[in-house]
Amino acid sequence: MTERIESIKAGAIAGFSVAVAWGVTSLGNQLMLSPGVESWAIFPEWQRFWLSGTSAGVAGFLFGVTYRYIIRDDVNPHLKSGAVFAFGLVRGLAQIEVGLSNQSSVFPLIVTASESILIFAVARVLLDAAIARHWVKPFSNF
């Protein structure tokens, strides 16, 4: 039961951090990539915004749980980076695939896919900090 609680804590930290990082990057994209848009119309489709944010949070939760099991007690930066790139690329490539059927420009899709890697990197940094401060215990085989 203790391991499950630690996994839930890792998932909660990562889920929250991914959702917040996604919100910040989405807001930044809307402000930078859509100049001249009225402030009230930044997110004209609020339901889609909340659905995407929730999706990012759930992906972050799953990343946190998985990340805790991946790194265990190891001090291997390749495992940590690999987890970030695996989750980031899966999310990013899915966004590119969907976007290619709806858009003619590839640049916004590449930016969005890059953000996916970035938001999981933020979660990794926060999870590593939580583990270093003993807020979350790494998974142990023993």
Q: What is the pLDDT of residues 21-60, one digit of tens each?
A: 999 988 887 777 665 544 444 455 666 778 888 899 999 9
Q: Is residue 139 part of a domain?
A: no
The predicted pLDDT at position 37 comes to 47
Q: Is residue 100 part of a domain?
A: yes
Q: What is the pLDDT of residues 58-72, one digit of tens each?
A: 999 999 999 998 887
Mean of per-residue pLDDT scores for the chain: 84
What is the Cα–Cα distance from 113 to 106, expressed in whole angstroms? 11
Structural domain range at position 46: 2-132
The predicted pLDDT at position 32 comes to 73
Q: Is residue 137 part of a domain?
A: no
What's the token pair of residue 53?
């944010």
Q: Is residue 85 part of a domain?
A: yes
Total structural domains within the chain? 1
Q: Is residue 10 part of a domain?
A: yes
